[in-house]
Structures are given as C-alpha cells and as structure tokens.
C-alpha cells in the first residue's frame, strides 16, 4: 500500500501547492477524520478543499479516537492514543480495499505532527511519501511581517509544556511556541520580552496581537478565550523575542 501524507498548511486553500493538489487527485482513497461536534468545521474545511481540488477522489470518514486522560504518564497516554488511531486507520483502509491512500495534514507533516509516527505503526508497513506545506510558523511571521530569526542567530521551536517546565530556552533570543493550551507565556518573567501571537494563522478568521509581553499577555488571554468560545476550538502559535 502507498500512503501519502499531504500537508495542507493552515487550511487556507490558497496555500495548497500544486504537488499537494496532484496528490489529492491521484489518490485512490482519502481518509478524513472527524474530531467531534466542537471541531466539525475542521472536517468541513477538509471536505471543501477536496470538493474543489479532487471531487472525484473517494473519501472515507472515521471518528478520531480521543486520548485516555486517565493514563497518568503523558508519554504513555500519547502512545496509547496513537496506537488507537493507527488501528482505526487500518480498519478503514481494509474496509475499502484501498492500495493508494492519502491523509490531509494540518500544517506540515514533519513539524510537531504525529501522522508519520502513527503511519509507522501500520502493518504491513506502507510505502510512505510526504508532501510538504506552509507551516503555521511561516504564516504567523507573515501575519506580523517579521523575520523568524535575528541576523546570524539561532532560534528554538518548542511547546507550551516545555516553556512551563523549563522557562525561556537557553542560548537563544527567539523562541517559537506551539501546542500551548495554557497561556504558558504567563509563567515567564516578562521584562524585556516581546510577544507575537497569532490564532487561526492564514485563515479567514486570523487574529494577531503583538507587543511587550507584560502589556500584551492580558489582551491575548482575553482574545483567545473569546475566539475559543466563538468557534469551539482554537489553533494558535506565538513567537517570543527577548532583548
């Protein structure tokens, strides 16, 4: 079986590459996850993209398993979740007797996404190909019209959990933070730090705020809560830069 992971960027149809569109059109089956009523518009957006780009390609929808929050250890909890997702993939693929399968992946399949790890659980192992895409990082920096790094300087891409547990990454002046559902920037000493925050990067309902962390943090917290209440979900990302 051939399995193609197609990066669709931030969900903006204008961000699709020609390579991504060709892969959707040539696939024998596209798996489409449903993540519950609160995130129904994520599935709707995938359906809209496919209806526009690859209307003839068959689609198989499935309910995405949820994480078992009763498992105390985080790594074990994620591992069990990925095992469950792989099992659903395998069952869905078998039901459709598909030999050429594709999945649409938010952002880029190689950056803070577990689709490749889940695919590695399939047996027999499929032939995997990856279509890269615009990432939320580039969409966020474009929204603020800023460069990702200072001249000749490195930067770190990290998570909200890492920021909470270990603080601002050592040895860099720029940190991009993803997967933060707890406003982890509030755990940092704010002096000398500027924050650039974007939700729904690249989408029609994109929201961006920036400024000194101390003054901007309350604005972000309020905007984030309002957006989540309005849409039922939120995808956001931010860049921290210290003097």
Q: What is the pLDDT of residues 58-109, one digit of tens each?
A: 999 999 999 999 999 989 999 999 999 999 999 999 999 989 999 999 889 9
Residue 195: the pLDDT is 98
Q: How confident is the model at residue 37 (pLDDT cuts 50, 70, 90)?
A: confident
For the chain, give the mean pLDDT: 93
CA dihedral of 157, 161, 165, 167, whole degrees rounded to 10: 40
Residue 35: the pLDDT is 79
Residue 237: the pLDDT is 97
Q: What angle do CA 174, 191, 185 make, to 5 degrees?
A: 60
**Structure token pair of residue 209:** 């705020």
Q: Measured on CA atoms in the order 12, 15, 19, 21, is the torsion positive or negative?
A: positive
3-state helix, strand, coil in the chain (%, to 5): 40, 25, 35
Tell me: pLDDT of 42 over 80: no
Residue 137: the pLDDT is 95
Counts of helices then strands in the chain (DSSP H, E): 7, 10
Helix, strand, or coil here: 42?
helix
Task: Provide mean pLDDT across the span 111-124.
Answer: 93
- How many angstroms separate the CA atoms of 111 and 71, rounded? 25
Structural domains in the chain? 2-131 (3.40.1010.10), 136-242 (3.30.950.10)
Tell me, yes or no, if the pTM score tops 0.95: no
Residue 40: the pLDDT is 73
Residue 191: the pLDDT is 96
Task: Provide mean pLDDT across the span 187-197.
Answer: 97
Residue 130: the pLDDT is 97
Among the residue ranges 12-21, 39-48, 95-104, 216-225, the one predicted with the least confidence is 39-48
Q: Beta-carbon neighbour count of residue 201 at 10 Å?
A: 26
Helix, strand, or coil here: 217?
helix
Tell me: pLDDT of 165 over 90: yes
H or E stretch including 45?
helix 40-53
Residue 38: the pLDDT is 62
Q: Give phi and psi for 65, each to the nearest 5.
A: -60, 150
Residue 53: the pLDDT is 94
Task: Provide mean pLDDT across the span 126-155.
Answer: 95
Phi/psi-derived region of residue 149, left when phi > 0, alpha when psi is between -120 and 50, beta in every other case: beta
Closest by Cα among 67, 107, 116 to 200: 107
- How many angstroms separate the CA atoms of 151 and 153, rounded? 5
**Structure token pair of residue 33:** 């996850």
Residue 43: the pLDDT is 83
């Amino acid at each position: 079986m051939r399995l193609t992971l197609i990066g669709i960027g931030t969900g903006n149809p204008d961000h699709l590459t020609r390579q991504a569109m060709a892969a959707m059109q040539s696939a024998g089956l596209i798996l489409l996850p449903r993540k519950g009523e609160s995130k129904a518009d994520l599935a709707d957006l995938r359906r809209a993209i496919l209806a526009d780009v690859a209307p003839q390609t068959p689609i198989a929808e499935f309910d995405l398993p949820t994480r078992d929050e009763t498992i105390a250890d985080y790594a074990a909890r994620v591992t069990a979740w990925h095992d469950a997702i792989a099992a659903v993939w395998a069952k869905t693929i078998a039901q459709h007797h598909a030999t050429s399968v594709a999945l649409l992946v938010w952002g880029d399949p190689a950056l803070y996404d577990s689709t490749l790890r889940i695919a590695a659980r399939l047996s027999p192992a499929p032939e995997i190909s990856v279509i890269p895409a615009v990432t939320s990082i580039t969409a966020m920096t474009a929204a603020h019209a800023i460069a990702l790094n200072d001249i000749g300087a490195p930067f770190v891409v990290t998570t909200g959990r890492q920021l909470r547990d270990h603080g601002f990454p050592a040895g860099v002046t720029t940190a991009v933070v993803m997967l933060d559902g707890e406003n982890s920037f509030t755990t940092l000493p704010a002096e000398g730090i500027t924050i650039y925050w974007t939700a729904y990067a690249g989408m029609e309902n994109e929201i961006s705020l920036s400024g000194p962390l101390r003054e901007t943090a309350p604005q972000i917290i309020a905007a984030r809560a309002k957006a989540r209440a309005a849409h039922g979900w939120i995808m956001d990302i931010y860049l921290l830069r210290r003097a």
